[in-house]
Amino acid sequence: MPPPLVNKKPRNESTTKDKTGTLDDPLKFLDQDYQELRKSCITNKKRFVDDKFPPDSSSIDPKKKLELDLDQIKWLRPSKIVADPQLIVQGVSRFDYSQGSYLGNCWFLASVGALTFKKDVMDQVMPADQSFGKDYAGIFHFRFWRFGKWIDVVIDDKLPTINGELIFVLSKTSNEFWPALLEKAYAKVCGSYADMHAGYVSEALLDFTGGVHVCFELDKPAIDLWSLMDRAAKTKALMACGSHQGEKSENVLPNGIVQGHAYTVTGVFKVTCQGKPVRLVRVLNPWGMGEWNGAWSDKSSLWNKVSEKERTKCRSLANDGEFWMSMEDFTKNLEEIDICCLSPDFLDSSSKCSWTTTCYNGSWESGTTAGGCINNKDSFWTNPQFRVRIEELDEECASGQCPENILVSLMQIHENRYRSLVSNYSTGFSVYLVSINNNSTGLTENLTEYSHFGFHLLMVRIPCFSTLTDTTRGK
């Protein structure tokens, strides 16, 4: 009996009907059309109020999980908070905001910090056709990539405040509101603000880019990780990292690192210290303050041992949450690094190679295709199967001594409106090498199992592999 769902048609060969959900034609989240709603508001001289994400407690904390007095909250438009509201003031920067006190969404804000380095992606997430100026109607929209489709999310600009102050993400420039509006749009996608409490850095990185995500454990990197990070930075990949969990949430260690916390990786650089090269990593705390105080921190005496040019380029004494660490301290004090980009070209040391992408949709269905793991030998073969051909490298690419790489990502689609109620199942897949030979006896296949992996990502180098594991960041 043949295995089920082999060679199921990939999505990039689907019909025209399925091609909605692109950046040029995003799906309308909750069936709200930004252009039509905005036009109606302008025609009727009214400001938009979103009935799908209303300015009340149901949009903040429907299950009352946050330590927040909902009765104190007033929803105010930016014009009621400041005299001259602006969406963006002097460009978008990682220093524009800091995390609020009531919501543990550092995983989201660490990803926002990474997003600010990639203007073209930021312009996709936050379309330019909106402001508080001409034809202002109290309505804004943002775009996110969700499970293979781009969606357009409409919001009103009423923001939750206490005593006239924003209670979630805070803008360091009082009249700049892109961080708060972006956070509100993402909260709407998650179901509520409270549904953003605790999560995966990779979630937001993928939702901002629709790209490729890999995660490396820092205590046992199997490659020259700093060089890979350097290549990723040069391709403007989005990078974030997380610290080890502690016994209690957000415990600040004597060295300044916050346990169970997400950070943005904002740069890598090599300096010369007393004639020896030192590899550095720059990290940003989304709190907007609180920094590493060890070697190569802002006030470290090691900066006096490098050239004035390098010191001027790198060192900052501002208490803005950003700091440098040596690669050795980075791998020792942090747990993993997440890298997300539109193409995984940075994985190869040669720029002569390019990647192609194929996406397959499938499901595990009880009684038919839910065969369990390899331990279930009688039913394992019934699991969905997909055959991928790895083409031989062309001469130019092969000259760079790059192996044939395949990056496989398994994603679970959320079916619940509220993110915190989603059940994250333990899913996985097996990878086999299939050698196909044509001979006089017909087609023969030699199957060799390489390994069995758990959720979420892996990179396979034929004929060897390394596992890339995803990790939760709490706050």
| Residue positions annotated with a catalytic role | 106, 261, 285
Q: How far apart are CA 168 and CA 408, in angstroms?
A: 36
Closest-CA residue to 205 (of 346, 93, 110): 110
> At 156, which amino acid appears?
D
Q: 106-115 and 201-209 are packed helices; what angle lies between their axes, rounded to 10 degrees?
A: 40
- Name the phi and psi angles at 139, rounded to 5: -130, 140
Q: How far apart are CA 170 and CA 101, in angstroms?
A: 9
Q: How far apart are CA 355 and CA 411, in angstroms?
A: 20
Structural contact between residues 59 and 68, judged by C-beta atoms closer than 8 angstroms: no
Residues 6+ apart with CB under 8 A from 143: 23, 26, 124, 125, 126, 127, 150, 151, 152, 153
Separation of CA 165 from chain center = 28
Task: For residue 356, give the DSSP letter.
Answer: -
Q: How far apart are CA 467 and CA 475, in angstroms?
A: 25
Please, how many CA atoms are within 13 Å of residue 136, restricted to the half-sphere of its CB? 12
SS3 state of residue 437:
strand
Q: Tell me the two tokens of residue 22.
A: 């692109």
> At 219, which amino acid appears?
D
Q: How far apart are CA 207 and CA 187, in angstroms?
A: 13
Q: Tell me the two tokens of residue 192.
A: 């509520």
Q: How far apart are CA 210 and CA 145, in angstroms?
A: 5
- 36-44 CB contacts, 8 Å cutoff, 24+ apart: 37/139, 37/154, 38/135, 38/137, 38/139, 41/137, 41/138, 41/139, 42/135, 42/137
> At 380, which amino acid appears?
F
Q: 201-209 and 178-190 are packed helices; what angle lies between their axes, rounded to 10 degrees?
A: 100
Other CB atoms within 10 A of residue 401 CB? 9
